[in-house]
Structure formats: structure tokens, C-alpha cells
């Protein structure tokens, strides 16, 4: 089993600096929702500033439009910012229309695409035929949200692994817990995106569970004493 690559997911500049300096993290992703939560006011300025920090690791930046011409314009602009940019394009727009035509066109131009918001087997199959086989690209399957809907995400990852081109990598997106790293790896994903809080927990892999039990009990005890609780 190959070791999975960890991509940091976020839009806080301090976290991006830390991710760029970390040997554990091989890439960075963000999206408009994360940028809005981080208080970003100027989208393009943020992208340019972030790329001054991250010059060598993969960096995924997302378009936001429902119109094919505007999706394509934004994608070309973002791609031209730096050679390490992958352009995130949702597989459907906000009203459910497929973006496959734009993805096919942009991929044929040599733009590295990160097809995002992928949820279904049909979408996966369509993407694997739409992407230029010679151009590195990502397929971001939103495994965490698939699990939130009560379905096992691993068959979706395996299906993609069986059908994709070797130049295309699968991202296990929207993880919910650190165990998702192992699930992603065993089902065939090459990459998992993770928020800083999940990344911090990866260091616990292989930890002795008896020691973990003691640490947990001590945490409860210490917090009770600090709070001066009594019964």
C-alpha cells in the first residue's frame, strides 16, 4: 500500500505558511467558503499572496460561476498565476448543470484541473473520459459528505481508481476524522485533504491504546481538579 499524500485544506495565511514548511504536507487546497470564513475580502489578491508563499507544492484554487464562458475565463486566469496551480471546477454548477464541456475544453488546453464536488458513480465515469490523459489532474470525491448521507464512500474511490488514467490522482475530500486517512489509502486514493486539526491527529497513528486510555483519564481528572469540582 503506497503512502497517501496529505493536502492541507484552508485559507488562513498562518496555516498556509505552516503547511508550506511541513514535510508531512505535499499540497494545499482552498475554496470560496473557506476563504469567506477566513475573512478574505479580495479573492485574487489572496490567491496571489498565497502563491508567493507556496511556490513548489500543489495549490488548488477554485472558480465560481454558473456560466461556462466565465468558468473558463476564471480558470485560465487562475492557472496562469503559477505553474503549481490546479484549478478547482465543481462537476455541476449551482443549478445542477454539468460543467463537463468546460472541463474537457480547459483540460485539452493543458490546464491542470481539480474536478471537485464529485459525489456519484456517473460523475466519476464522465470525468475519467473528459480529462486530458496527458495532463496531470485531480478528481476530488467528497467522501466525507457521501458518508454524511449514510453511504460508504470507499466503493466510489475504488471505482474511480479502476477507471482513471495514471496521470490523474484521486482526492478523498471532506474528511471527518483521522481514520479517513487509512480508509482513503486502502481504497485507492492518492491524496486526502485535511484541515489542520485532523493533520495534528495523524501523529497518534500507532499509539499504544493502553497509554491513550491513561492519558484520557488523566485529562478528565486534571480538568476536574482545575475546575475545583466536588460531589
Domain boundaries, the chain: 5-205
pLDDT tops 60 at residue 2: no
pLDDT tops 80 at residue 6: yes
Active site residue 105: no
Distance in angstroms (rounded) separating the CA atoms of residues 91 and 103? 8
Residue 112: per-residue pLDDT = 98
Distance in angstroms (rounded) separating the CA atoms of residues 191 and 163? 17
Distance in angstroms (rounded) separating the CA atoms of residues 56 and 201? 25
**Nearest-5° Cα angle at 80, 74 to 86:** 75
| pLDDT band at residue 3 using 50, 70 and 90 as cut-offs | confident
Distance in angstroms (rounded) separating the CA atoms of residues 168 and 161? 9
Mean pLDDT of 138-144: 98
Mean pLDDT of the chain: 96
Catalytic residue among 88, 200, 203, 218: 88
**Could you tell me what percent of the chain has a pLDDT over 70?**
99
Q: Which CATH superfamily is domain 5-205 in?
A: Aldolase class I (3.20.20.70)
CB-count burial class (<10 Å; 0-12, 13-18, 19+) for 2:
exposed
Query: Strand, helix or coil at 80?
Result: coil
Amino acid at each position: 500500500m503506497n503512502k497517501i499524500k496529505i493536502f492541507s485544506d484552508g485559507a488562513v495565511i498562518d496555516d498556509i505558511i505552516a503547511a508550506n514548511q511541513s514535510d508531512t504536507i505535499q499540497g494545499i487546497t482552498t475554496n470560496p467558503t473557506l476563504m469567506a470564513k477566513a475573512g478574505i475580502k479580495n479573492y485574487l489578491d489572496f490567491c496571489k499572496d498565497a502563491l508567493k508563499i507556496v511556490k513548489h507544492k500543489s495549490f488548488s484554487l477554485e472558480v465560481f460561476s454558473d456560466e461556462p464562458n466565465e468558468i473558463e475565463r476564471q480558470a485560465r486566469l487562475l492557472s496562469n498565476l503559477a505553474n503549481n496551480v490546479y484549478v478547482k471546477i465543481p462537476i455541476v454548477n449551482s443549478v445542477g448543470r454539468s460543467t463537463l464541456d468546460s472541463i474537457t475544453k480547459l483540460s485539452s488546453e493543458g490546464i491542470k484541473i481539480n474536478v471537485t464536488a464529485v459525489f456519484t458513480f456517473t460523475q466519476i465515469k464522465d470525468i475519467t473520459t473528459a480529462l486530458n490523459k496527458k495532463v496531470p489532474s485531480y478528481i476530488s470525491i467528497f467522501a466525507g459528505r457521501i458518508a454524511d448521507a449514510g453511504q460508504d464512500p470507499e466503493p466510489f474511490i475504488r471505482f474511480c481508481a479502476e477507471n482513471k488514467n495514471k496521470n490523474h490522482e484521486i482526492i478523498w475530500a471532506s474528511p471527518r476524522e483521522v481514520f479517513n486517512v487509512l480508509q482513503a489509502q486502502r481504497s485507492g486514493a492518492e491524496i486526502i485533504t485535511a484541515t489542520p486539526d485532523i493533520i495534528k491527529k495523524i501523529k497518534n497513528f500507532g499509539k499504544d491504546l493502553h497509554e491513550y486510555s491513561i492519558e484520557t483519564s488523566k485529562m478528565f481528572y486534571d480538568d476536574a481538579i482545575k475546575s475545583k469540582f466536588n460531589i
